[in-house]
A and B are shown apart, each in its own frame.
Chain A
Amino acid sequence: MTGRTEPSTSEGSAPTGGGRVSRRNFLKTSAAAGAAAAVGGSAISTNPDIVAAQEQTDREIVHGNCWISRASCGQAITVEDGRAIDLTGVDGHPKASGGQGREGTLCSKGVAQLDKTYNPNRIRQPYIRKDGELQSASWEEAIEFAAERLEQFREEHGAEKMLRYQGYPLTDTHDKLFQRIYGAAIQVGRKTTCHGPFSDSWGWMGGYGREWPDWQNSEYIIAWGRNPMECFRGQWEPNGILDARKNNDATLVTIDPRYTKTAQKSDRWLPIEPRTDGALALAMGHVIIEEGLYDEEFVENWTYGFEAYRENVEDKTPEWAEEITDIDAEEIREVAIGFARAAPRAIAFPWTGIAYQGNGFKNAQAIHALNGLVGCIDHEGGTRHYRGPSLSDPHAERGIELPDAHEDADLPDYDDYPYQRHIRNYSHNYVPTMVEKGDIKGYVSNWSLPPKSGNTQEWLRALDEMELVIVVDAFWNAVSKRADVVFPDSSQIEQPFLGSGGDSCYPTRTWVTASNAAIDPLWDTKPAFDIYKELAEEMGYGEYFPWDSEEEYLDEKLDAVDMSFDELAEQSYALVDEYGYQQYREDGFNTETGLFQFDLAPNESYAALADELGVSTAPEWQPVDDDIYGETTDDEYPLLFTDVFVEQISRGHCQALPESVEEYLDRYGRAYDDYEGNYLHINPRDARPRNIQTGDMVRVESRDDAIELPAHVYEGVRPGWIATVNGFGEGSVHPEEAGANTMTLNREHHVEPVSGQVDRNHPVEVTKAGGDGA
């Protein structure tokens, strides 16, 4: 199918009130849309006397769990007459506080949650595509339509041609229905759009999914390409770092070409030449070994491949790295020694700044190696192997065996495809080609927006080409507008929640957190669990969803920790089991050798790829190289462009929230501009010769494409390097698609070769839009 048109009714797609949202505006817009009845009948009124009377009524505080960053911060929500009117964090909550006795808070995104719930731009009822038009439908119609189309799709193409694109579902029944029961075998996950180079290198070296720092107990913290003071997953992170600074006199070092809020709090900011992090890490390893400051006991007893690592860093002096990284050799030496002396209460922690690089895997490997070298792995104040409690599987509890319909699927093999070298099969960027080859013909997702994550133009075409697109979401965007079925999900505070962890301010405790729906679902929306249950029933799989309600389903999950859902929701959170540090001393590392692996030679698939690429399996510096590791700048495209996070707009749907957008703009002093998109941050040394001033519209042109957005000229970014905040522009959730979609510059081949993750660094030239700026 091609040439899909946008929804035919104006109610869902047209922004209301210029994106201005408040409870007052909500009352106005609700009344105008005739939606008052849908949100509780006579409870809502715009009559001033009635509103005044309502303000005299009792209020109650109930719990929620913020899902904007998938951190599940416990919320205390003030509800009055069925309306949520205020919220803050739950005191002592594992994510929303700094620990016991500390007040809970929410970050600016979390506080903007009401903006999400009462947003007039929300999708308010189901939609189905008929005769090429997306039309509003009843739930019965939409469920029946989706079930029929899914069945027809499987008969015609086979369920394995339905792509499950990983999003942010509030329920695990999305995967249970589509993967296990229906048989959609192919999933593209966030490891190829967000953190693959970091997580995969860590997984193969350290043997579990992902480390996370034990912030509050640390004495030396290196924030390496991450900005935890503003892109935190829960308030415990900035609090933990500030606690470490105050209580342990911890040193904080930020390595980032951008001056961030983390840099602001740091003892040292190392504004590194982008994509040279591996060279810096190797030089630090060189110093630590030369000075005899590494942890001999850990290296000898618990690691594999130290000799290969030692060999690779032997000649990697700070002076060698200074040439590459533009960091003073003496400073490299000082940071290496400071880090090693503080160890094992020390952390070198990389994140998206590293993962977004085409040579990110090798850079991340060299950084992880430092943690192994000083023995801070799973150590108090070091990296931490956080655990979550095991919860019961409600299906197992009821003796229901879910089918494995996806297991024997005949899946395509792209091992020989030039941009498909990576070990993780099926990269995000490769999906459009898979569609073109006929290996993917359908798409299901829940709160996801792939065209902002890479290869945008091809993705937009691919979505148009697909035979069946089904989405669960709350906002109109490039995917929901192209869908055949749009199921309007309730926002988080309109549905029950259960979460467990995991990283938190309680580094030796597992925990669970839960909340009931704080308010009834608005308009004609439904919680995701209910959507999947109804869809399953319509498809003839009712036997797999016997629970009357989601609360009942979640209640059974908590059997393992002997709590009821209501009990937990009432108290918001509970600390469960205790567990110790250095768990490897009992369990070993879950790697091929049972040891922490500096050298990944024992990992057969990586060893084969490294051989093909002609690189070492041990940590090594890999410069960017046009074909494989990322494009380099030259005279024609002299600036390196990438995108970054800020606290106000760091996740999925924040661009739809006027409060979040306004605060992002105000952070750079631009809240009073008549513009609601992203700005291009550029150093005066790059702006001046191009005659660019703050507020000027500029054109960012790469070898492949161009975008336009206004400039913000300031000293907080490295000359030669420019950046913006992602998620805006074409296809985004912003009601007017304001700003620029950075991934318009991205193409299929822009992938990191090991993990298949999108490479978000592009050489560009910047000019004033509409001329030479003269």
Chain B
Amino acid sequence: MSRQWAFYFDTQKCIGCHACVVSCRVRNDVGTKEAKWRRMEHVGEGSFPDYKETSVSMSCFHCATAPCRQVCPTHAIEKRERDGIVTVDQDKCIGCHYCAYACPFGACQYGDDGLLQKCHLCLGEGAGDGHGKPARQKPEDGGATAACVDNCVTEALKAGPINEILREASEEAANRYSESDVGPALVVEPVTQESHDSIETTDPTG
């Protein structure tokens, strides 16, 4: 794979405003109460007054070894060779939901037609539109910049080729990504200077 595309997220800049989520809906024409390709998690810890929240913007993270793809019985999910974006061929999807069980991020969502749809890094507009699109060479390719990135008020969320993303990231974030680069294509700035392992997520459909 020549250029894995990745998301970058800085919790310290994120103000939890949900503009990324609504932008995703608007750009891709996904109505409310329908599939949610991107969502915000607000994770609270502690008791009043020692209470803290962390806000995290979640979507498909286009994993290097995508577990959704590995379990798909019809090979409807593609890990694109040229840019690492995980797309779905809805013509092949049979709506079995195996991918949803496999994905640790709740990224696999289903439309009224029962077929898989999810973030395709704004390669197209609408479910499955990313399938078969040309590779992204730079952010402008294959459509505009991802809508969520376009409307991130505080530049907490970015997307691009992993080498560019890593150049902009802190050393700690880059190191953490490099240690697990078979996982999600997501470079996350640490919440504090102290390292932390992972942020608990919930299944949005649960």
Q: Using a CB–CB distance below 8 Å, which chain A residues touch chain B?
A: 18-25, 55, 85-89, 103, 105-108, 110-112, 114, 229-230, 235, 238-239, 242, 259, 261, 264-265, 269, 271, 647-648, 658-663, 666-669, 671-672, 683-685, 714-719
Q: Which residue of B lies closest to A24 (CB)?
A: B29
Quick one: which of A239, A264, A648 contacts B55, CB cutoff 8 A? A264
Q: Using a CB–CB distance below 8 Å, which chain B residues touch chain A?
A: 12-13, 15-19, 21-23, 25-27, 29-34, 36, 39-40, 42, 44, 46-49, 51-55, 125, 147, 150-155, 202, 204-205
Contact at A239–B53, with CB atoms within 8 Å?
no
Contact at B151–A106, with CB atoms within 8 Å?
yes
Q: In the complex, how many angstroms separate the beta carbon of A464 from the nearest chain B beta carbon?
A: 34
Contact at A718–B16, with CB atoms within 8 Å?
no
Query: Known contacts being A715-B44, A718-B48, A719-B48, is A659 close to B22, with CB within 8 Å?
Result: yes
For A105, the chain B residues whose CB sits under 8 A away are 19, 150-153
Contact at A659–B40, with CB atoms within 8 Å?
no
For B23, the chain A residues whose CB sits under 8 A away are 88, 106, 111
Contact at A666–B40, with CB atoms within 8 Å?
yes
**How far is A180 from B43 in the complex, measured between Cα atoms in Å?**
53
Contact at B15–A230, with CB atoms within 8 Å?
yes
For B25, the chain A residues whose CB sits under 8 A away are 22, 659
Contact at B150–A667, with CB atoms within 8 Å?
no
Q: Which residue of B lies closest to A661 (CB)?
A: B32
Contact at B151–A239, with CB atoms within 8 Å?
no
**How far is A19 from B31 in the complex, measured between Cα atoms in Å?**
10
Contact at A107–B17, with CB atoms within 8 Å?
yes
Contact at A238–B153, with CB atoms within 8 Å?
yes
Contact at B33–A261, with CB atoms within 8 Å?
no
Query: Known contacts being A106-B151, A111-B23, A238-B154, is A658 close to B32, with CB within 8 Å?
Result: yes
Contact at B18–A663, with CB atoms within 8 Å?
yes
Q: In the complex, how many angstroms separate the beta carbon of B84 from the nearest chain A beta carbon?
A: 24
Contact at B21–A663, with CB atoms within 8 Å?
yes
Quick one: which of A86, A89, A114, A648 contacts B147, CB cutoff 8 A? A86
Q: In the complex, how many angstroms separate the beta carbon of A643 from the nearest chain B beta carbon?
A: 19
A-B contact pairs, 18 of them (CB 8 A): A19-B32, A22-B31, A22-B34, A24-B31, A85-B29, A88-B23, A108-B18, A112-B26, A230-B17, A239-B153, A261-B17, A265-B12, A663-B21, A663-B22, A666-B40, A669-B42, A715-B48, A716-B44
Q: In the complex, how many angstroms separate the beta carbon of A85 from the nearest chain B beta carbon?
A: 8
Query: Known contacts being A242-B13, A265-B15, A715-B46, is A669 close to B202, with CB within 8 Å?
Result: yes
Contact at A21–B44, with CB atoms within 8 Å?
no
Query: Known contacts being A22-B29, A86-B27, A111-B151, is A264 close to B52, with CB within 8 Å?
Result: yes
For A21, the chain B residues whose CB sits under 8 A away are 31-32
For B29, the chain A residues whose CB sits under 8 A away are 22-24, 85
Q: Which residue of A lies closest to B205 (CB)?
A: A672
Query: Known contacts being A19-B32, A716-B51, is A242 close to B22, with CB within 8 Å?
Result: no
**How far is A107 from B42 in the complex, measured between Cα atoms in Å?**
17
Quick one: which of A114, A242, A667, A714 contacts B16, CB cutoff 8 A? A667
For B18, the chain A residues whose CB sits under 8 A away are 108, 647-648, 663, 666-667
Contact at B53–A264, with CB atoms within 8 Å?
yes
Contact at B15–A261, with CB atoms within 8 Å?
yes
For B150, the chain A residues whose CB sits under 8 A away are 88, 103, 105
Contact at B19–A230, with CB atoms within 8 Å?
no
Contact at B46–A107, with CB atoms within 8 Å?
no
**How far is A461 from B93 in the complex, measured between Cα atoms in Å?**
57
Q: Which residue of B lies closest to A18 (CB)?
A: B33
Q: A106-B19, A106-B23, A238-B153 are in contact. List 12 more A-B contacts (CB 8 A).
A: A18-B33, A20-B33, A112-B26, A238-B15, A259-B52, A261-B16, A271-B49, A647-B17, A659-B25, A662-B33, A666-B18, A717-B48
Quick one: which of A114, A265, A666 contacts B26, CB cutoff 8 A? A114
**How far is A714 from B46 in the complex, measured between Cα atoms in Å?**
10
For B22, the chain A residues whose CB sits under 8 A away are 108, 111-112, 659-660, 663
